[in-house]
């Protein structure tokens, strides 16, 4: 897998930097999966497990709240993740039929609460969001025991999933009941052929992803299937099985899409909900290890930049959960490319939030920044990254943190010095060198070219005896090209912050005024700074020295190198020679 990072590329299966704006070809996905996601291979995944073999022989749905003996921990479909049973993740799409067609609603449930979303209605979507009601049949946690009749309805719907003709309605009804029936995940997992049927629904739309021709009807159907997968991923007894089966990999082609149409947006959002169900809990170290071995971080970063507000919120929630895990934090901060990728996207989100003012997103961005600052190695990267693209405000927290002893402390102090003193000093002197170079050659050209001198620069040389108020007495064209444009280019080329540029322009202006004041003051710090002072520039304004001392306003190196420097002693010698010739 190749991810493009600022003109460079990294060839690995792991996230090495900022995600490329181009979608990943499906052919690259299929080659990286341990098992090809085809309908025939999916059905074969479950054929060897004891529970599925028993179900296949009896052709019955296993409806027990507990898995069959020997079934737990076996088979292909699985994942283990402790889940607060009163905080069900409900990030999937719930489909309901309205009078004008299929209505689609989004409920963000447990992850929404954690992400600060609450109950959110998606604009332009028909039908209200589905919110879990009172505990339903089979509920253990709601304090009531469902009737056999209610259980039979669930089992009948599960059986209908096996029939392609009745599957659409079964997906719709089961997606509505997934919060009311707590053991639905067990029924889905341990019933023969159900998981392959759900995966078959997912795989069947792969050809519609590129080129993008996904319809709303197909998207709604797949979103219902994803909602049931989310149910399985949320259950404490099926999470590890879900993860062991590598089922999240089947969702990555959906996350890799870039189309802005609603069917694709809903598909991405529901797929993110499944991943969010896995990372939501505190005891998710196994999940984090699995996700770090995949492309989930680049995919989330892309969605954080280009997705809708809901998709961005869920994507950054996933990244935040990865950062909260010590392994995830270490992984992201291990290389500059990874840290720069995350930091750049977060910085871009902050810039976007200036316009959108989405408080939910800002909260998660701040949490990600704070968590990043918990890694000592990151503090050095943070200082460097903030100088390159983040600005001084985004790096303040890297500097004020306390550090441990040893090498980390030395590295932190070195990074602190580089950020606050080393880099700004280098930028400042580089800008001064650029301004001197710009002014020297343009200034000299105006003295060499008769038209430029007569039309523009002669205005300034009306001051035979310079004085402070006449320091910037120039033709408007000369003032813009020589002074304004040169300073602006110096700021842009050196990458200065606004504060640094203000300081540079202020010192440059003071220096120009001081060089024209006509007084060589012994304790003037601006005149002590370099040999380019009032005495040096006064020679240039005299008739004898008008072809000398072009350097302005800081240093005299170009006059020295190119032989146009004239000292006060040389000026006096020339005056004596001219006087002798006159006699």
Decide: residue 557, CB within 10 A, 0-12 exposed, 13-18 middle, 19+ buried. middle
Q: How many other CB atoms are found less than 10 A from the CB of residue 475?
A: 17
Distance CA 510, CA 533 (A): 12
Confidence (pLDDT) at 204: 92
Confidence (pLDDT) at 532: 84
Three-state DSSP at 72 gives coil
Report which DSSP code applies to 131: -
Structure-token pair, residue 366:
């701040």
- Would you write out the chain's pLDDT as a tens digit for each of its 583 residues? 334 333 333 333 333 333 333 333 333 333 333 333 333 433 343 343 333 333 333 333 333 333 333 333 333 233 333 333 333 333 333 333 333 333 343 333 433 433 444 444 333 333 333 333 333 333 433 434 446 667 788 888 889 888 888 888 988 988 888 888 878 889 899 988 899 999 999 999 999 998 889 999 999 999 999 999 998 998 888 888 999 999 999 999 999 998 989 999 999 999 999 999 998 876 778 889 999 988 899 999 999 998 889 999 999 999 999 999 888 888 888 887 888 889 889 988 888 888 887 888 888 888 888 888 777 555 554 545 544 444 444 444 444 444 444 555 666 677 778 878 888 999 999 999 999 999 999 999 999 999 999 999 989 888 778 888 888 888 999 989 988 999 999 999 999 988 899 999 999 998 888 888 888 777 878 777 778 888 888 888 888 888 888 988 888 899 999 989 988 888 888 888 877 777 6
Rounded to 10 degrees, the C-alpha dihedral 546/550/555/559 comes to -90
Report which DSSP code applies to 97: E
Transcribe 256-302 into DSSP letters.
T----SHHHHHHHHHHHHHHHHHHSSS--HHHHHHHHTTTHHHHHHH
Helix axes 262-279, 296-306, angle to 10 degrees: 130
Q: Give Cβ neighbours of residue 36 (< 8 Å, ≥ 6 apart).
A: 30
Q: Give Cβ neighbours of residue 167 (< 8 Å, ≥ 6 apart).
A: 160, 161, 197, 201
Helix axes 407-417, 376-385, angle to 10 degrees: 10
Structure-token pair, residue 330:
């270490």
Decide: residue 7, CB within 10 A, 0-12 exposed, 13-18 middle, 19+ buried. exposed
What are 4's strand-pairing partners? 9
Helix axes 285-292, 326-333, angle to 10 degrees: 20
In sign, the C-alpha dihedral spanning 418, 421, 426, 428 is: positive
Residue written as token pair 């540029």: 501
The answer to whether 205 and 252 are in contact (CB under 8 A) is: no
What is 22-294's CATH topology?
A: 1.25.10
Distance CA 206, CA 214 (A): 9
Residue written as token pair 């999916």: 42
Distance CA 164, CA 387 (A): 57
Confidence (pLDDT) at 138: 39
Q: In the chain, where does the domain assigned CATH 1.25.10 lie?
A: 22-294
Structure-token pair, residue 334:
């291990």
Which of these, 551, 434, 426, lies nearest to 492 by C-alpha position?
434
Confidence (pLDDT) at 155: 87
CA contacts within 13 A on the Cβ side of 203: 19
Distance CA 383, CA 378 (A): 9
Report which DSSP code applies to 58: H
The values of phi and psi at residue 206, to 5°, are -55, -45
Confidence (pLDDT) at 7: 32
Q: In which element (H, E) is residue 5 found?
A: strand 2-5
Structure-token pair, residue 175:
């997606």
Transcribe 356-412 into DSSP letters.
H--HHHHHHHHHHHHHHTT-HHHHHHHHHHIIIII-SGGGHHHHHS---STHHHHHH
CA contacts within 13 A on the Cβ side of 441: 7
Transcribe 536-569 into DSSP letters.
HHHHHTSSTTTTS----SS--HHHHHHT----HH
Helix axes 194-203, 164-177, angle to 10 degrees: 100
The values of phi and psi at residue 102, to 5°, are -75, 125
Q: In which element (H, E) is residue 502 found?
A: helix 498-515
The answer to whether 288 and 322 are in contact (CB under 8 A) is: yes
The answer to whether 277 and 235 are in contact (CB under 8 A) is: no
């Amino acid at each position: 897998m190749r991810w493009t990072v600022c003109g460079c590329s990294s060839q690995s299966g792991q996230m090495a930097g900022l995600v490329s704006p181009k979608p990943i070809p499906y052919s690259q996905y299929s080659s990286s999966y341990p098992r090809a996601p085809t309908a025939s291979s999916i059905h074969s995944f479950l054929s060897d497990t004891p529970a599925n073999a028993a179900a296949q022989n009896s052709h019955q749905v296993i409806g027990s709240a507990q898995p069959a003996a020997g079934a737990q921990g076996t088979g292909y479909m699985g994942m283990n993740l402790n889940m607060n049973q009163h905080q069900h993740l409900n990030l999937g799409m719930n489909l309901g039929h309205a009078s004008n067609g299929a209505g689609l609603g989004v409920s963000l449930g447990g992850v929404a609460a954690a992400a600060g979303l609450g109950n959110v209605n998606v604009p332009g979507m028909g039908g209200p969001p589905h919110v879990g009601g009172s505990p339903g049949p089979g509920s253990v946690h709601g304090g009531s025991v469902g009737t056999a009749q209610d259980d039979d309805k669930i089992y009948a719907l599960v059986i209908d999933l096996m029939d392609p003709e009745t599957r659409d309605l079964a997906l719709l009804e089961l997606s509505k009941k997934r919060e009311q029936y707590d053991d639905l995940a067990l029924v889905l997992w341990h019933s023969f052929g159900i998981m392959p049927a759900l995966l078959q629904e997912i795989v069947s739309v792969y050809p519609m992803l590129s080129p993008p021709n996904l319809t709303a009807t197909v998207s709604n159907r797949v979103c219902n299937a994803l909602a049931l997968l989310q149910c399985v991923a949320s259950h404490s007894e099926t999470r590890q099985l879900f993860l062991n089966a590598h089922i999240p990999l089947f969702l990555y082609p959906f996350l890799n899409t870039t189309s802005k149409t609603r069917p694709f947006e809903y598909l991405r959002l529901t797929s993110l909900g499944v991943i969010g169900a896995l990372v939501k809990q505190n005891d998710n170290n196994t999940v984090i290890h699995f996700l770090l071995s995949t492309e989930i971080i680049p995919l989330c970063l892309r969605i954080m930049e280009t997705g809708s507000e809901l998709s961005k919120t869920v994507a950054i929630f996933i990244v935040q959960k990865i950062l909260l895990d010590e392994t995830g934090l270490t992984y992201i901060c291990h290389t500059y490319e990874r840290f720069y990728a995350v930091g750049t996207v977060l910085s871009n989100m902050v810039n976007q939030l200036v316009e959108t003012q989405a408080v939910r997103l800002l909260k998660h961005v701040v949490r990600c920044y704070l968590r990043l600052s918990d890694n000592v190695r990151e503090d050095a990267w943070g200082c460097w990254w903030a100088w390159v693209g983040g600005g001084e405000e985004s790096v303040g927290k890297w500097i004020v943190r306390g550090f441990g002893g040893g090498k980390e402390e030395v590295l932190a102090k070195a990074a602190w010095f580089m950020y606050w003193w080393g880099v700004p000093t280098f930028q400042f002197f580089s800008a001064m060198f650029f301004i001197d170079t710009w002014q020297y050659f343009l200034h000299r050209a105006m003295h060499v070219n008769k038209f430029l001198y007569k039309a523009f620069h002669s205005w300034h040389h009306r001051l035979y005896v310079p004085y402070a108020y006449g320091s910037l007495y120039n033709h408007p064209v000369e003032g813009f090209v020589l002074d304004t444009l040169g300073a602006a280019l110096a700021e842009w080329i050196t990458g200065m912050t606004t504060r640094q540029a203000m300081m540079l322009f202020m010192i440059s202006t003071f220096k120009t005024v001081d060089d024209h004041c006509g007084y060589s003051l012994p304790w003037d710090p601006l005149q002590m700074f370099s040999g380019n002072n009032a005495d040096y520039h006064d020679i240039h304004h005299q008739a004898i020295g008008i072809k000398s001392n072009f350097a302005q306003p800081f240093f005299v190196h170009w006059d020295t190198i190119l032989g146009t420097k004239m000292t006060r002693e040389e000026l006096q010698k020339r005056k004596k020679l001219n006087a002798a010739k006159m006699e």
